Amino acid sequence: MTSFRLLVYSRTTGYRHDSIPAGTEAVRALGAVHDFEVDATEDPAAFTVENLARYRVVVFLSTSGTVLEPSGRVALEDFVLSGGGFVGVHAAAGTEYDWPFYEELVGAYFDRHPHVQPGTIHVVDRDHPATASLPTVWRRTDEWYDFRSHPQRRPASDSMSAVRVLLTVDESSYTGGGMGANHPIAWCRQIAAGRSFYTAIGHTIESYAEPEFRAHLAGG
């Protein structure tokens, strides 16, 4: 018997990443290893209170633009506040720009990026399943996102913890970064009874075959 069920959502109304199928298959492979069931959809009708109650985790896999109906927003917010888990991958930060709760959920909105190129990641918090097995200095190729705001500057509240940054990227290791010395690319936070995890990694198809990145996703 599987331990839980997870929903991968990859609808796009803006830019569409060609890595989405590889990402979906990677999550399915992780489910087979870690004993969870995976459903995948791009249908916003899946976002009802009743349907989301079947899942423990919802993954927004490089979604873009407006991807939910108003009723779907209500269902997702209820899901998280009631104890569900949210995972945002890469372009999930370029989604639902006009929904304040989503900005709190994902932690920061995407702003811009330079071209795909090698860069150096630093693990700044190893006390998390998403980082525990990673090398302290992790050099890899990706599309390094800048964000409209720094997620760690989002204030905590009675229902939301402060954002906990897990990984940063060293802007001196690539060209075009615009966030400065403390450039977060993966973080998490508690939201009422639920939890949120976001990683900006995952632009390329090749990412989803990397053992280190799969371990990062599984931990998230």
Complete DSSP assignment for 26-70: HHHHHHHHHTEEEEEE--GGG-SHHHHTT-SEEEEES-BB----H
Say which residues have a Cβ less than 8 Å from residue 117's Cβ, sequence separation at least 6: 141, 144, 174, 175
Instruction: Identify the H or E element spanning 126.
Output: none
Distance in angstroms (rounded) separating the CA atoms of residues 56 and 147? 28
Burial of residue 135, with CB atoms counted within 10 A of its CB: 0-12 exposed, 13-18 middle, 19 or more buried: exposed
Distances (CA, A) of 9 to 16, 26, 47, 53: 13, 14, 10, 15
Burial letters 29-61, b for 16+ CB under 10 A, else e: ebbeeeebbbebeeebebbbeeebeebbbbbbb
**Strand, helix or coil for residue 174:** coil
**Strand, helix or coil for residue 134:** coil
Tens digit of pLDDT at every position of the chain (220 positions): 578 999 999 999 999 999 999 999 999 999 999 999 999 999 999 999 999 999 999 999 999 999 999 999 999 999 999 999 999 999 999 999 999 999 999 999 999 999 999 999 999 999 999 999 999 999 999 999 999 999 988 778 878 889 999 999 999 999 999 999 999 999 999 999 999 999 999 999 999 999 999 999 999 9
Nearest in space to 189 (alpha carbons), one of 68, 87, 60: 87
Instruction: Identify the H or E element spanning 149.
Output: none
How many CB atoms neighbour CB 145 within 10 A? 25
**What is the model's pTM?**
0.97
